[in-house]
Amino acid sequence: MAGKKVNLYNGLKRLYHEPSRLAIISSLCRDREGFTFNKLKTECELSFGNLSSHLKILKEGGVIDVKKEFVNNKPQTTIILTDQGRDQFIQYIQVLEKVLKNAAQAVSSDEENLKEYLFSADPEFKVKNKKEANQK
């Protein structure tokens, strides 16, 4: 179907779009070595339980790896963004940029129409444009 329009919103995967997971993944993008659980918890301002549940979802989605080891005889959990997770996140960001650009253009054109409407000295202009807007 040549004329079928692509819906950009389908590219906004919920896996990444949820605010806490967006914070987690954005943080992990900054360091290929990953973050310790506690550092990520502090960075994203999440509780232990909240971070744990989001990490479980991201791990099931293949977005992160969780490495558990002992450092100085203490258990340490490190969370690392996978290559697949990084690639998918880049795709998500690209779609999000397009969606935001479209929204910004729509808002800009609405602002221009509003300025014309508000600052027009011609009452007929206001009535005509109001009727046109109602027809859309």
Provide the residue ranges of all domains of the chain, joining segments of one domain with +.
12-135
Q: Is the sign of the CA dihedral 54, 59, 65, 68 positive or negative?
A: positive
CB burial of residue 33 (10 Å; 0-12, 13-18, 19+): exposed
Q: Is 76 helix (H, G, I), strand (E, B) or coil?
A: strand
3-state secondary structure of 64: strand
Task: Determine contact, residues 68/76, Cβ cutoff 8 Å.
Answer: yes
Distance CA 136, CA 134 (A): 6
Q: What DSSP character marks residue 121?
A: S
Residues 80-130 pLDDT 10s: 999 999 999 999 899 888 888 887 777 776 666 656 655 555 555 555 555
- So what CATH class is 12-135? mainly alpha
Residue found by looking up tokens 């998500």 in the block: 92
- Cβ neighbors of 12 (< 8 A, separation 6 or more) are 92, 95, 96, 99
How do residues 22-40 score in pLDDT, each as one tens digit?
999 999 999 999 999 999 9
